[in-house]
Structure 1
Amino acid sequence: MPELPEVETTRRKIEPLLRGRTILRVEHDAPHKYRDTHLAVGRRVQGLSRRGKYLMLQLAAQGAAEGDPHDLEFIVHLGMTGGFRLERGKHTRVILETDAGLLHFDDARRFGKMAVVLPGEYASMPTLAAMGPEPLSDDFHEAPFVALARTAPAVKPWLLSQKPVSGVGNIYADEALWMAKIHPAQTRLSAPEARRLYHAIREVMGRAVEAGGSTLGDGVSNYRQHDGEAGAFQFAHNAYARNGHPCPRCGTEIVKTVLAQRGTHYCPKCQQLRAESRGQRAEGETDV
């Protein structure tokens, strides 16, 4: 699934194609998945932002000034396999036409969603409404994160909830926890563990954004940019999808388990579960 680095890279790549352009047509056949997109037609794209894993196009009526009360937001969630392309493909679900040309939203597994809403009205998108701070922003402070982590349940599912920090998904949770030497099922982090994790999240996310995200598998049905370019951070993975390979830090074989129904990769030597968490396997944890 595209996570913050992939969505941020997408934003940076398609912003020059959309900023300042007028939307002429939004074509699809799934109004329950792409809600109220007709409201975008005739509006100018003032800018593109991102919140966690969500793309957000700021729309204004033609001739309206910035901040006009009739402004709208076009929210895009890429789902598991969604992405924009210049050419139509066999998995194209939405065609976005502007006065500069066409963009095609491809989504092999059909989990992507779109909605046009009034700015800030996210009641229909509870994850977006309750999302934690951006990990690379000045709003992500160490002390509040450490305090929350001291009472947290199993740390990886906690990160995936998007509440302590936004944009961290399966890939980057595994990578940050490996860097911080914390077991994915660890509960109630110590203050040193929480501080290590805070800095690991910032470092991993920053490096992944600079590398253009991670392209897994064949890159056809998975994340790739509109121009066909793949990300490069998959070559720097230390834990995610590295089961059976030696840990880059200690040489122990990386193992895979299932935690809260998500494939989870870690080093059993570097990331040991502390005594108080042993014997109380996190909900949904099974060996693979």
Structure 2
Amino acid sequence: MRVITIATDLEHPFLRRLLEPSCAAVGLELVVLEGRQRGFRPRDKRALLTDHLARHVPPDELVLFTDAYDTLLLRGEEYIRTAYAGFPQRVVFSAEPNSWPMGPVGLALHEDPPVGPYPYLNSGGFLGPAGDLLALCAAYPDPPSGRFPLLNRLRAHQVDTDRLHGTSDQYYWTLVQLLEPDTVGLDHGAVLFENFAPRVSNFCELNRWTDDFRTHGRQSASYRRERSRLLSRLRSPSGAAQVHFASALAKTVVLDLLDEGLLPSWLVGMVAR
């Protein structure tokens, strides 16, 4: 099994102080692929990853992809393989409480009621054989938005989701998963991946919180709210193999708590061994 991440900043504090030490603590070797081109975007991760898989990874080798700047690993290969065997699909993605980046449009693409507690795909963590990942990317070289009547109707009204969200890797994988549910599963119960993003009823709240934080920093109401929320949530250990602090606010809070010695033992133990 191989663990892979992609980074443009090899000295990012979350990568160096949390992700890398956590992988070492559970006996997993982390492969860091560097995105070197200028203006590297989230969708560029897919091209870099597929090139590496095609050149260096056997098709049947299990690959765990994890985001570089806001995740850490809590459990090793034996747990991951056992949990993965419980899914009927060959590829398993992390899931989260919110439909991002499409918001209500993304909700409307799901024909069935949401499966909780984490209903929607998150691309910050996924697991599957290298050959299966390559086959999916080859079958869908671009976001398959044209396969969705709703998105075609929106496009006719000058709302082009490819133009709005085409730089998002999560947008791409969300559409692929909806078309390939027998091949691509979601970890609704956080067995492998747990996403610590806050659940919101109004999608615009996330953007407002981010803008507030960018403007006022650690004095912002959004930072104080996220710090309080995470301190409360982190009292209970995660049962997953990977945890994901999926926002600028959340990863800032986690790094601050690390500096202040306030991370709980079940997390800090993974980076202090």
Instruction: Identify whether the pair has TM-score above 0.5, normalized to the shorter chain.
Output: no
Superposition TM-score tier, normalisation by shorter sequence:
under 0.3
The structure that is strand-richer by fraction is 1
TM-score (norm 2): 0.24
Larger helix percent: 2
Rg comparison, structure with higher value: 1
Indicate the structure whose relative CO is greater, using CA pairs within 8 Å and at least 6 residues apart: 2
Name the TM-score, length of structure 1 as normaliser.
Answer: 0.23
